[in-house]
Amino acid sequence: MKSNNIIKRLLITTTLCGGVFFSPASALAAADDQAGFELEEIIVTARKRTESLQDTPVSVTAFSANTIESMSLSSLKELGQFTPNMTFSVSGNSGNNSSLVFIRGIGQPGTTVFWDTGVGIYVDGVFMARMQGIDLDLMDLERVEVLRGPQGTLFGKNTIGGAINIVSSRPDSSEFSGKAEVTYGQYDRMDGKIALNIPVIEDKLAISLAGATRNRDGFGIRINKDTGEKLDETGDRNRLSGRAKIALKASENLDVLFSFDVSRVREKNAVRDLKIVGTPVLVGLLNMFVDPDYNSANFVTASRYENYADGPNINNLDTWGVSLTLDWNLGGATFKSISAYRDMESLNGTDPDGSPYTIISLMQDMEQTQFSQEFQLSGLSFDDRFNWVAGLYYFEESGFNSDLLGVYSELYSAIGLDISFTRDIWADSKSYAVYGQGTFAVTENFDITAGLRYSYEEKKVARVRVAHVTGNISVPKDGREDDFQALSPKISLDYNWTDDVMTYVSVARGFKSGGLNGDSFDDFTFTTFDPEYVWTYEAGLRSEFLDHRLRINASAFYSDYTNIQFSVNRGDPDTGRSVAVVDNAGKAEMKGFEIEIVAMPVERLMLSASLGHIDAKYTELDSGLPITLDTDFIKTPGWSLALSGKYSIPLGDAGEMVWHVDWATKSDIQHDILSSPLLLQEAYSIMNARLTFQSADEKWAVSVFGTNITDTKYIVAGSVFTTSLGFAEVIWARPREWGISFKYNF
């Protein structure tokens, strides 16, 4: 496409220019007279041990808490714009509470309870099974790590595409500290954050408390078509979250950490825009028996942020969790136990057709609980040349999904056509795994890492479908079960050419469990879909130059992706009944790279750039599927580029002024699994900027900032129902916004 060609030329040109700008020679010339400054070391736990990013042979992008703040980001979803080869977006009809995450072209087809994620989200080592509620508030964090490629050996469950590892701050028993921040901004934004670190017994016991509230009006409205009056708004924010931690040093060798978190969301739904209309059979019936002048085209508004819907408009979420982590130093090894329980309830009400008629409306209620237990044993052997970890993992989940769908409801009162229905789905699963991985230092500079995980999963799914008014059971309640197992091996070789230059090669297999089609409307389609598998071959570079003032990290990959899980919901043109196609699509290959560069050419100036590229294509498809070898991968832009600059200006005894600018661009993104042009987002760019004044004693700071300051209009999700229901709709991202915040440290 033309836009793809344009952005490719832009990205290649920018990369070449960036190579000159960040070249060691030019940076050295600028830094000849500078001394005493260097890039901050980044610590990660991508291999379930604490180590420097530069020593980690895994493709990782890490964001520290300070970086997240300076980028004016408030939720996990926003990181997706600035991470190479990653997208993080809402899930269309499942509402703002549900998200779809894709890394290197791999994610998941849907958010219903019988689907597993393709990218694992972990908070302090605890896996988040559902995509509802994972757009976490970034409060009181230490860092966020985005791991690309299959992480099946160590992280295991559903990390076939990658993992997002969120590490929150740990209580410190040495001294009392705290910080508070308030933010005011556009759309009557009023946010607040507070974090307290409370030592109870020095070197023994500490408590940390953190809370955040996010509030702002919506940027979209629903209006009465006849009177022009505002009915309500869409796209608002009303979120409250909190976390408490207790850290106890029970003995010289035993550390105990208890954590509790809770989140509450009470919002309207996303900003929806009716894009195009069709004339299926049911529209003709509506014209004949209800409204002879009805035409969906009459409800297409002039503004992308307005519609005439008057049905459900709700986005609620309640979730909480507890975890207990034990670290026991056994002398020659360390034993770690992570026990966790989580509970989630989500309610989403959507009216996507943009009209006061009930062409379709959805009330979706989801409830889920999960328990997980992990045991790890790690240590050093053979004169500290062998760094190893082994573990056992157990996970169980119980989920319930109830969807109340109104479909052409007016036709029931007119002619007795009852095609609205309620669909209930129950899904239970259990997962067992054993794993081990070790790194052996063959020489001082050459390491070999090998690992293997065995996973066994049991799935049970039941479903029923009942007509709204008549109560007729169109799909009797039925339950089925199946089990799946897989081996996930990994091997990598890394070589340190110097103290600051390391290269590696690796091969790893990822596995995502299969399941049963809970969306089925008859026994024939209530079938098992198989697990997904991917083999990923990767080569990488970790390097620093100029006395640690220039960092260049890069990874190139090739992935062989098989048994791709596929789901598409389309309505029957004659009945409007939802028909779910769930299967394994076939095979695909993905190849590409990530390059990340950070430089401090002079003191107080930091520049960074990241570039990601994915070439993903289907290579073999099973017969009977509504896709072809030319179908685009969903949520997978071919190119992603981000540039960032930060400069601090000393103001003597007054403090300092800090500028921070971030710019990101992505090439074309397809939001429909069937590659409908109606949901194609062409290449776009966004920019955020922040100016902060910080006092000399670092006690307080005030910032002014803007997000999406170029006011770029781009879609993040949508649905296509042109042949069955007579319309398509898209969901828009947030427009340009400004804000001011005040932070105080104590």
pLDDT (tens digit per residue) in 254-273: 999 999 999 999 999 999 99
pLDDT single digits (tens) 305-356: 999 999 999 999 999 999 999 999 999 899 999 999 999 999 999 998 888 8
pLDDT above 80 (res 474)? no
Q: Band the pLDDT of 579: cuts 50, 70, 90.
A: low
Query: What percent of the chain has a predicted confidence (pLDDT) above 70?
Result: 92
Over the stretch 366-423, which tens digit does the pLDDT of each residue have? Answer: 999 999 999 999 999 999 999 999 999 999 999 999 999 998 888 888 998 888 889 8
What is the residue whose two structure tokens read 């609980």? 369
Confidence of residue 681 (pLDDT cuts 50, 70, 90): very high
Phi and psi of 282, rounded to 5°? -70, -30
SS (H, E, C) 384-402: CCEEEEEEEEEEEEEEEEE
- pLDDT of 150 > 60? The answer is yes
> What is the rounded distance in angstroms from the CA atom of residue 469 to the CA atom of residue 430?
37
Note the pTM of the prediction, 2 decimals: 0.91
- Strands, E assignment, 7-59: 43-44, 51-52
CA-wise closest residue to 48 among 523, 376, 501, 485: 376
pLDDT score at 715: 93
Whether the per-residue pLDDT at 521 is higher than 80: the answer is no
Distance CA 335, CA 197 (A): 27
Give 662-673 pLDDT, tens digit per residue: 999 999 999 988
Contact 249, 270 (CB under 8 A): no
C-alpha distances in angstroms, 211 versus 126, 178, 245?
20, 12, 12
Please tell me the distance from the alpha carbon of residue 45 to that of residue 34, in angstroms, as a whole number.
Answer: 32
Q: Are the C-beta atoms of 373 and 393 separated by less than 8 Å? A: yes
Alpha-carbon distance 183 to 137, whole Å?
Answer: 15
pLDDT higher for 5 or 742? Answer: 742
Q: Which two tokens stand for residue 448?
A: 């070999």
Say which CATH class 2-745 falls into. Answer: mainly beta
pLDDT at residue 526, rounded to an integer:
86
pLDDT per position as a tens digit, 152-210:
899 977 799 999 999 999 999 999 999 999 999 999 999 999 999 999 999 999 999 99
What is the C-alpha to C-alpha distance for residues 240 and 190, in angstroms, rounded to an integer?
A: 12
| Statement: residue 573 has pLDDT above 80 | no
Work out the burial of residue 602: count CB atoms within 10 Å of its CB; fewer than 13 is exposed, 13-18 middle, 19 or more buried. middle
> What is the predicted pLDDT for the residue at 11?
44
Mean pLDDT for the chain overall? 89
User: Residue 468 burial by CB count (10 A; 0-12/13-18/19+): exposed, middle or buried?
Assistant: middle
3-class SS string, 713-743 = CCEEEEEEECCCCCEEEEEECCCCEEEEEEE
Q: Quick one: pLDDT at residue 92?
A: 66
Give the helix/strand (H/E) hosting 70: helix 65-70
